[in-house]
Structure 1
Amino acid sequence: MEEKKVVKVEDIKKEAEEKRCPVQRALFYVEEFLKGPMCGRCYPCAFGSYEAKVRLLNITEGKAREDDVGALRRIADEMLISSFCKKGKDTARFLLEWLDSGVFQEHINGICPDAECVEYIRYWIIPGKCTNCGKCKRVCRYHAIMGQTRKHQFSTGYLPYEIRDRRCTCCGDCVDVCPTGAIVVIQRKTGEAVKGEEEAVAR
């Protein structure tokens, strides 16, 4: 019989820290904590972790309400005081650490500063920099890019490339293959470029 691997909360936190956005870190951590280390013996930790997951999903999916951040802090405070074991208390400390970053409130205001929550960002092709080479369209697995590939370098009259927002998953494959840096990530709310050409702003 294969021995079940023991997952430590410290290992989950270490993996969560690989993500840029503190909200994504917290969500990843809580989801992994619920899958493994959480024993479910005390209500503050068990119920608190599940409620924290729901609140964090609201934030990452762009459905955050003003009270979500306050609720997460309340959950973490109660877990820190009332959890029976070190795992629950450590989870509370990790949540409070990420909450203190201030990034959660920015999500409530519609901004993901680290451009990792896909509901807060979109990809945009800068018309003046796009050469209609077609590399982005060929690499897109979701058929989110439309336009015509330029057959000859100096040909004109081809439809410019555009990204269909509803199909785009913000995977980043198109950014990686674009030879001219014509694809940038922008904040949905402000139109401010967050990756690539800093001066590029959606019109």
Structure 2
Amino acid sequence: MLNKGAMFGLDARIALAIFGALSVISGAALYSAIQHAKVTAIATEITEVAKAVEQFMLDTGQDIPHITEADKSKTSDLLYTDHLISSTVQGWKGPYLAFTDTGSNNDRIEIDRNEPKNIIILRASNKTWGGLHTVAANFTDWSCAGAIKCHMYVLSEWYDNRAFVEALDKYFDGVVDYNSGRLRVREWDNLSPVKFTVYYEIGPMMGNYG
């Protein structure tokens, strides 16, 4: 005799297994969609900052002013990023960005959110550089002093998720390569937990300031 209760129990277990499998697939798809949306949003933000720098140059006929060696608290490769928000440079027609700068440092735009925290414009060469940070290198790998042409980069910091940073790298360059391409990645293994910064190449500077 057919045990309907047993069959119902089996059918229910099969149905639950199917729904469980579907929920896992849906959950993975949802996570992937959220990750892709976040990558696209950050990539769009970075390119908008790059466009802001280019517009500043078109309006003023000069690079964003360079932080001089006289300011001992700053590295000489940083530019006055806050000029994208407010500036007295002749020809300036900004603000070029809609960010609210929550900090007081003139070399960066500080944003009140988890990541990325800071937007910085800096100068560096377009040679091979990036990857694992070492104190010994002290950023000499990106130096554009002397005859090497300086390029401007949008530095976006800090990120905790390696997979996200690599997805961002693939978004811009099609491959994961920390040391070359339109987007460079710096891994800071001296921090706990390990953090990452990304550098998007805008283009060559008008002057080198070398």
TM superposition score normalised by structure 2: 0.26
Indicate the structure with greater helix content. Answer: 1
Indicate the structure with greater strand content. Answer: 2
Task: Mark the structure with the bigger radius of gyration.
Answer: 2
TM superposition score normalised by structure 1: 0.27
